Structure 1
Amino acid sequence: MQKLALAAMLALFSAWAVAETGQELAVKKMIEPRLGPDAKVDSVTKTPYSGLYEVRVGSDILYTDEKAKYLFIGRIVDTKTYQDYTKARVDEVSRIKFADLPLASAMKVVKGNGKRVIAVFEDPNCGYCKRFDKTLQGIDNITVYTFLYNILSEDSVAKGRDIWCSADRSKAWDDWMLNGKVAPAAAASCTTPHEKVLELGKKLKVTGTPTIFFADGTRIPGAIDARGLEAKLATIK
């Protein structure tokens, strides 16, 4: 019932968006300079709740009134169903096309039948990534693509290069992330997709590690436990 209510609300949201284009453009023109000199508002859409206008800046969702006089920062939640409409919109605007990911630039591990698929952006010096990788040890029937998103330090770049250039990348990754065993130094001739992955992460607005992408294009920023991961995977057909 809650899912149907959410779907109905998003459908209503879309209908309002089409009907109010002129006013939305006016609100966008007013609100953008008030957010700061470097602000770039991607869209303004009238919502089905209380005459508010959704202001989207990247994957961030804010709200304002029709005169752009007030700015509302927070989540809109239905008091009857407790559906989080703001989260639903953030999930919608940050959704990717999983098939477009350059998976050749990631390390691949298949467990069991491998039918459930995720892609994870991780840094070798990320403590939360190490915790998530330990969680993955107990998850079966899954394919994991790991993008080495070396953003925490220059040492991350060096560690990532040594791991990528190892004879068995996945083993070298697990050795380091799970047991603290350093990979052998990479040969000078070895090249990595480091720059390509950095650009990909920026394009997808990956701002922290780990960031987990699922086959339906949705994402979860941060480490989650086994129960949370299984629950999320169960929702994907």
Structure 2
Amino acid sequence: MIKRFVQVGLATLVLAAFAAGADEAANIRAALAKVLPDYKPTSVKATPMKGLYEVEIGPQVMFVTGDGRYLIDGAIVDLKTRENIAESAQSRARLRAVDQIGEDNMIVFNAPSSQHTVTVFTDIDCGYCRKLHEQMDGYADEGISVRYLFYPRTGADTPSFDKAVSVWCADDRQEAMTRAKAGAQLPKKSCTNPVTKHMELGEMMGIRGTPAIILDNGEMVPGYVEPKRLATLLDQSRANN
């Protein structure tokens, strides 16, 4: 949660920002601005629980009590429906953040008869990322379209980062991605590219390894998942929503 939400002193700062009779949402924004000046809440809204507010910052979600004293980081379960309200909110936030990137800023491998779309944070030099890409025909056979975002784990200005930029700047990005993941040395190219934005989004989502798969319901699944298993997960997530 955004560098664990700068934990030291949070409760004191949030509480100090609240005044009797003030609008909770506006004051939550003001309080968070003191603790996280570089992050502006996307939304602040009431939850079904009286006095508890859902705060969305990009792909991250947190819950703050209306009196400003408590921050809740963890599962919040509706015992009647068995829904994890916190995870559902987190999934929606992930989807909105990914949608803001837009498919024009992704490399997309569409299945001919697409039933599901997953978004995958990938590193060209990651072994399991290469294994996933080798199975692209298998995902297509299962009706799964794959959208790639770059997440070179070694960071900016490294060979993996440069490879990602070269793939993006190639005349045929899909072909370049396939060749790069097969170990081919691509001509080094440079152009306006979204690689840094992809990485920033991945960091905010708390990604620690690749591949990281965002299902079409917003759930995040770490690691490689073979095509039939992924199709099963996607069908189950759709049935549960």
Q: TM-score range by the shorter chain?
A: 0.5 to 0.7
Aligned residue in 1 for 2:163: 159
1:161 Cα deviation from its structure 2 partner: 5.1
SS of residue in 2 equivalent to 1:138: helix
Aligned residue in 1 for 2:231: 230
Aligned residue in 1 for 2:185: 184
- Shifted more, 168-177 versus 57-66: the winner is 168-177
- Distance in 1 (CA, whole Å) between partners of 2:183 and 2:211 is 20
SS of residue in 1 equivalent to 2:95: coil
SS of residue in 2 equivalent to 1:48: coil
Q: Closer, same or farther in 2 for the Cα pair 1:50/1:224, shift >3 Å?
A: farther
**Which of 120, 137, 145 is equivalent to 1:143?**
145
Largest Rg, 1 or 2:
1
User: Is the Cα–Cα contact under 8 Å of residues 150 and 198 in structure 1 kept in the other structure?
Assistant: no
Using the size of structure 2 for normalisation, the TM-score is 0.62
Aligned residue in 2 for 1:14: none
Flag structure 1 segments of 5+ consecutive residues without an equivalent. 1-19
Q: Closer, same or farther in 2 for the Cα pair 1:77/1:131, shift >3 Å?
A: farther
Q: Closer, same or farther in 2 for the Cα pair 1:135/1:49, shift >3 Å?
A: farther
Aligned residue in 2 for 1:25: 26
Aligned pairs for 1:83-162 (under 5 A) are: 83-96=83-96, 101-103=102-104, 106-110=106-110, 113-114=113-114, 116-133=116-133, 136=136, 138-139=138-139, 140=141, 141-150=143-152, 152-153=154-155, 154-160=158-164
Deviations 1:54-109 (A, max 9, x none): 23333322223232122221120123432111111112233237597244x54444
1:124 Cα deviation from its structure 2 partner: 1.0
- Distance in 2 (CA, whole Å) between partners of 1:232 and 1:197 is 28
SS of residue in 2 equivalent to 1:67: coil
Q: Closer, same or farther in 2 for the Cα pair 1:75/1:228, shift >3 Å?
A: farther
- Distance in 1 (CA, whole Å) between partners of 2:95 and 2:27 is 27
- Distance in 2 (CA, whole Å) between partners of 1:39 and 1:98 is 19
Aligned residue in 2 for 1:199: 197
- Distance in 2 (CA, whole Å) between partners of 1:41 and 1:220 is 21
Identity across matched positions, percent: 23
Aligned residue in 1 for 2:220: 220
1:111 Cα deviation from its structure 2 partner: 5.0
Please report the RMSD computed on the Cα atoms of aligned residues, expressed in angstroms.
Answer: 4.1
User: Is the Cα–Cα contact under 8 Å of residues 94 and 218 in structure 2 kept in the other structure?
Assistant: yes
Does 1:57 pair with 2:61?
Answer: no
Q: Closer, same or farther in 2 for the Cα pair 1:211/1:191, shift >3 Å?
A: same
User: Is the Cα–Cα contact under 8 Å of residues 122 and 151 in structure 2 kept in the other structure?
Assistant: yes
Flag structure 2 segments of 5+ consecutive residues without an equivalent. 1-20
Counterpart of 1:160, as a letter, is A
SS of residue in 2 equivalent to 1:183: coil
Counting matched residue pairs gives 208
Q: Closer, same or farther in 2 for the Cα pair 1:52/1:42, shift >3 Å?
A: same
- Distance in 2 (CA, whole Å) between partners of 1:23 and 1:134 is 51
Counterpart of 2:102, as a letter, is L
- Distance in 2 (CA, whole Å) between partners of 1:60 and 1:49 is 20
- Distance in 2 (CA, whole Å) between partners of 1:131 and 1:201 is 21
Q: Closer, same or farther in 2 for the Cα pair 1:133/1:29, shift >3 Å?
A: same
- Distance in 2 (CA, whole Å) between partners of 1:42 and 1:109 is 30
1:230 Cα deviation from its structure 2 partner: 0.9
- Distance in 2 (CA, whole Å) between partners of 1:165 and 1:40 is 31
Q: Closer, same or farther in 2 for the Cα pair 1:126/1:25, shift >3 Å?
A: same
- Distance in 1 (CA, whole Å) between partners of 2:115 and 2:153 is 30
